[in-house]
Amino acid sequence: MKKIAVIGAGTMGNGIAHTFAQNNFCVNLIDICEESLKKGLNTISKNLDRMIAKEKISLQEKNTILSNISTFTDLKNGVNDCELVVEAATENIELKLNIFSKLDTFCNQDTILASNTSSISITQIAKSTKRPDKVIGMHFMNPVPIMKLVEVIRGKDTSDTVTDQIMNLSKSISKIPVEVNDAPGFVANRILMPMINEAILTLEENISSVDGIDTVMILGMSHPMGPLFLADFIGLDVCLSILEVMYDGFNDKKYKPASLLVKMVKNNELGVKSGNGFYDYTDGIKNKKVSKRFL
Ligand SMILES: NC(=O)c1ccc[n+]([C@@H]2O[C@H](COP(=O)([O-])OP(=O)(O)OC[C@H]3O[C@@H](n4cnc5c(N)ncnc54)[C@H](O)[C@@H]3O)[C@@H](O)[C@H]2O)c1
């Protein structure tokens, strides 16, 4: 495989495009929003500058990586002749079903269609196409250029051949793939999201402050970052969507999203990407908030 398309230039999409481009793939980065494409390319450029500063790549390599990426707002043009499409658009089931049914008509018969969804059923996404054997989950972790894991999710109809191809492809871009079966939240988020939700409930019940809760988990459990900062980093809208899928999928109240999370998403407090979440990021770095809502 040498030519791939990535749909969505947000937090995950730009990281996925960066990673493939750095491994000499021609990447078509597609977003409905021109501004998101600009922002995505800018993030890639800044992340490459950081790699130059750490002497991991040269300026010439940065320019080659950037030249491997082309941007599109039109889906049909963007996926033309691509052997793989990795969809990383907003976590919304109707939106993803719509994208995959279009991909099925626009892409070559052999093209593999992967989704980076955090929680939505791959089997259900595959049903919106006439090639369910070639639909698979490729769940990268954030930040993509740094995190090694890819959860490779087999839908009910995903073929062995396609699974093997995606496992091998993941290894070829220096990732470590783990094969999992389709279930709400798969493995990563099924375990992570209840912890994040519980941290938000702990805050909502005023048991400790944002900093207090995060510090307990960093120092007490050796987590590299606290659950509330991690939620900001993932995006509170993404966390809410994942919990909703798990709540519906398992029909179990233990996955019910905390009302504080619902309220913050309604207020557009989405974490790092909106500049405001459990912490404040308006000046580009993580700052503690002083608010009556928190201890
Ligand atoms: N944020 C995380 O830490 C994380 C981790 C793993 C997986 N994911 C998953 O990755 C996917 C993307 O999440 P994100 O955090 O990057 O979201 P995001 O909100 O940062 O970016 C989503 C992008 O999709 C674009 N988009 C929306 N509709 C589109 C369409 N029809 N065609 C093309 N582009 C469209 C938006 O303009 C936006 O730029 C979601 O499925 C999410 O669950 C997120």
For residues 128-156, average pLDDT: 97
Mean pLDDT of the chain: 96
Residue 227, domain member (yes or no): yes
Residue 280, domain member (yes or no): no
User: How does residue 53 score in pLDDT terms, banded at 50, 70 and 90?
Assistant: very high
Burial class for 121, CB neighbours closer than 10 Å (0-12, 13-18, 19+): buried
CA pair distance 137, 126, nearest whole angstrom: 10
Predicted local distance difference test score (pLDDT) of residue 235: 96
Predicted local distance difference test score (pLDDT) of residue 284: 81
Same domain, 174 and 268: no
Predicted local distance difference test score (pLDDT) of residue 158: 98
CA pair distance 200, 211, nearest whole angstrom: 12
pLDDT of residue 294 exceeding 80: no
Q: What is the b/e burial string over 190-217, where b = at least 16 CB atoms within 10 angstroms of the residue's CB?
A: bebbeebbebbbbbeeeebbbbebbebb
Same domain, 256 and 154: no
Find the DSSP H helices in the chain: 11-22, 34-53, 59-67, 75-78, 93-106, 122-127, 160-172, 188-204, 210-221, 227-234, 236-250, 259-266
Q: How far apart are the first and last CA of the chain?
A: 53
Q: Strand, coil or helix: what is 172?
A: helix
Residue 292, domain member (yes or no): no
pLDDT of residue 125 exceeding 50: yes
What is the per-residue pLDDT across 66-116, written as a single tens digit (0 to 9) for each? 999 999 999 999 999 999 999 999 999 999 999 999 999 999 999 999 999
Short-list 33, 97, 25, CA closest to 71: 33
Domain boundary among 120, 151, 181: 181
Burial class for 292, CB neighbours closer than 10 Å (0-12, 13-18, 19+): exposed
CA pair distance 18, 173, nearest whole angstrom: 11
Is 265 close to ligand 1, i.e. is its CB under 6 Å away?
no
What is the per-residue pLDDT across 245-278, written as a single tens digit (0 to 9) for each? 999 999 999 999 999 999 999 999 999 999 999 9
HSE (CB half, 13 Å, CA atoms) of 133?
5
Q: Strand, coil or helix: what is 236?
A: helix
pLDDT of residue 157 exceeding 80: yes
Residue 103, domain member (yes or no): yes
Residue 235, domain CATH: 1.10.1040.10
Is 36 close to ligand 1, i.e. is its CB under 6 Å away?
yes
Same domain, 83 and 22: yes
Residue 284, domain member (yes or no): no
Predicted local distance difference test score (pLDDT) of residue 295: 47
Q: Which residue's CA is minimally distant from atom 33 of ligand 1?
A: 31
Is 103 close to ligand 1, i.e. is its CB under 6 Å away?
no
Q: For residue 13, how far is its CA from the centre of ligand 1 (angstroms)? A: 7
pLDDT of residue 293 exceeding 70: no
Residue 16, domain member (yes or no): yes
Same domain, 116 and 195: no
Residue 150, domain CATH: 3.40.50.720
Predicted local distance difference test score (pLDDT) of residue 289: 80
Burial class for 103, CB neighbours closer than 10 Å (0-12, 13-18, 19+): buried
% of the chain with per-residue pLDDT over 90: 94
What is the per-residue pLDDT across 210-241, written as a single tens digit (0 to 9) for each? 999 999 999 999 999 999 999 999 999 999 99
Same domain, 103 and 224: no
Q: Which residue's CA is minimally distant from atom 15 of ligand 1?
A: 11
What secondary structure does DSSP assign to 190-232, as a single string? HHHHHHHHHHHHHHHTTSS-HHHHHHHHHHHH--SS-HHHHHH
Same domain, 115 and 78: yes
Same domain, 98 and 130: yes
Domain boundary among 157, 181, 205: 181
Same domain, 209 and 93: no
Q: Which domain, by its residues, includes 265?
A: 189-274
Same domain, 163 and 214: no
Predicted local distance difference test score (pLDDT) of residue 288: 85
The tokens describing 35, both together, are 């501004």
Same domain, 157 and 229: no
* CB atoms inside a 10 Å sphere around CB 74: 11
| Ligand 1 atom closest to Cα of residue 237 | 19
CA pair distance 94, 288, nearest whole angstrom: 36
Short-list 175, 148, 178, CA closest to 163: 178
Residue 108, domain member (yes or no): yes
Using the Cα atoms of residue 2, residue 173, residue 46 and residue 234 in order, give the sign of their dihedral. positive
Q: Which residues form the catalytic set?
A: 118, 139, 151, 189
Is 234 close to ligand 1, i.e. is its CB under 6 Å away?
yes
Domain count, the chain: 2
pTM (2 d.p.): 0.92
Q: Which residue's CA is minimally distant from atom 8 of ligand 1?
A: 118
Predicted local distance difference test score (pLDDT) of residue 286: 86
Same domain, 22 and 164: yes
Alpha-carbon distances of 131 from 5, 30, 118, 277, rounded to whole Å? 18, 22, 21, 40
Predicted local distance difference test score (pLDDT) of residue 266: 98
Same domain, 40 and 111: yes
